[in-house]
Amino acid sequence: MLVNSIYFANCRSPDINEIIRACEAELFKHKILINLHQVLKNCFFQSELDMACLARNIALSERQIYRFFKEQLNTTPSRFLNKYRLEKSLRLINKNNSTFGVTLGDISFDAGFSSQSYFCRCFKDYFGVTPSENIIGWQNIAKDKNQLMLS
Spatial separation of the C-alpha atoms in residues 39 and 65, rounded to whole Å: 13
| Model pLDDT, residue 135 | 72
| Model pLDDT, residue 74 | 92
For residue 142, what is the domain's CATH number?
1.10.10.60
| Model pLDDT, residue 121 | 93
Domain end position, chosen among 54, 74, 94 = 74
**Same domain assignment for residues 20 and 70:** yes
**Same domain assignment for residues 58 and 106:** no
**Same domain assignment for residues 122 and 59:** no
Residue 143 — pLDDT band, cuts 50, 70, 90? low
**Same domain assignment for residues 20 and 55:** yes
**Same domain assignment for residues 64 and 96:** no
Domain hosting 52: range is 2-74
Contact predicate 127/86, CB 8 Å: yes
Domain end position, chosen among 18, 40, 74 = 74
pLDDT at 21 over 90: no
Q: How many domains does the chain have?
A: 2
**Same domain assignment for residues 66 and 87:** no
Span 124-143, average pLDDT = 74
**Same domain assignment for residues 144 and 85:** yes
- Between 47 and 118, whose confidence is greater? 118
Residue 98 — pLDDT band, cuts 50, 70, 90? low
pLDDT at 92 over 80: yes
Domain end position, chosen among 49, 74, 99 = 74
**Same domain assignment for residues 34 and 88:** no
Contacts of 111-114 with CB under 8 Å at 24 or more apart are 111/44, 111/45, 111/85, 111/86, 112/44, 112/45, 112/46, 112/47, 112/49, 112/81, 112/85, 112/88, 113/47, 113/85, 113/89, 114/47
Q: pLDDT exceeding 70 applies to what percent of the chain? A: 73
**Same domain assignment for residues 19 and 67:** yes
- Give the distance, in angstroms, between the CA of residue 37 and the centroid of all CA atoms in the same chain: 9
Per residue in 31-83, pLDDT (tens digit) is 888 888 788 777 766 667 777 777 788 888 888 888 888 888 898 888 888 89
